[in-house]
Amino acid sequence: MNLRHATLHQLRIFHAVAQHNSFARAAEALHLSPPTLSLQVKQLSETVGQALFEQLGKKIYLTAAGHTLAEACADIETRMDRLSEDLEALRGVERGSLKLAILTTVKYTVPKLLGGFCAAHPGIDVAMVVGNRENLLQRLANNQDDLCIMGQPPEQLDVVSEPFADNPLVLVAPPDHPLVGKKRIAPKRLASEPFILREPGSGTRLTSEKFFASQSVTLKNRLEVGSNEAIKQTVAGGLGLAVLSTHTVTAELALGELVQLDVVGFPLIRRWYVVYPRGKRLSAAALAFKDWMFEHQPKAGRAR
The pLDDT, as a whole number, for residue 87 is 72
The pLDDT, as a whole number, for residue 304 is 43
E strands of 225-296, at which residues? 242-245, 259-260, 268-277
The pLDDT, as a whole number, for residue 67 is 93
Residues 6+ positions from 217 with CB-CB distance below 8 Å: 187, 188, 190, 191
* pLDDT tens per residue across span 141-161: 999 999 999 988 888 899 999
For residue 94, pLDDT beyond 70: no
The pLDDT, as a whole number, for residue 299 is 59
Count of beta carbons in the 10 Å neighbourhood of residue 23: 20
Q: Which CATH superfamily is domain 167-270 in?
A: Periplasmic binding protein-like II (3.40.190.10)
pLDDT band at 93 (very low <50, low <70, confident <90, very high): low
Name the least confident of 18-22, 78-82, 195-199, 241-245. Answer: 78-82
Dist CA 29 CA 3 (whole Å)? 25
Mean pLDDT across the chain, nearest whole number?
A: 89
* pLDDT tens per residue across span 210-269: 999 999 999 999 899 878 899 999 999 999 999 999 988 989 999 999 999 999 999 999
Dist CA 232 CA 55 (whole Å)? 50
Average pLDDT (195-206) is: 87
The pLDDT, as a whole number, for residue 97 is 84
Dist CA 251 CA 231 (whole Å)? 14
The pLDDT, as a whole number, for residue 301 is 45
The pLDDT, as a whole number, for residue 96 is 77
List the chain domain ranges. 3-87, 92-165+271-295, 167-270
Q: For residue 58, give the DSSP letter.
A: T
Average pLDDT (86-110) is: 78
pLDDT band at 302 (very low <50, low <70, confident <90, very high): very low
CB contact at 8 A, 104 and 132: yes
Residues 6+ positions from 264 with CB-CB distance below 8 Å: 184, 185, 186, 187
For residue 90, pLDDT beyond 70: no
The pLDDT, as a whole number, for residue 106 is 83
Return the CATH fold of 3-87: Arc Repressor Mutant, subunit A (1.10.10)
For residue 38, pLDDT beyond 90: yes
The pLDDT, as a whole number, for residue 89 is 63
To the nearest 10°, the Cα dihedral for 38, 42, 48, 50?
110
Mutual angle of helices 34-48 and 23-30, in 10-degree steps: 110
E strands of 12-158, at which residues? 53-56, 59-62, 96-103, 124-131, 147-150
Q: Do domains 3-87 and 92-165+271-295 have the same CATH topology?
A: no
For residue 44, pLDDT beyond 90: yes
Return the CATH fold of 92-165+271-295: D-Maltodextrin-Binding Protein; domain 2 (3.40.190)
For residue 303, pLDDT beyond 60: no
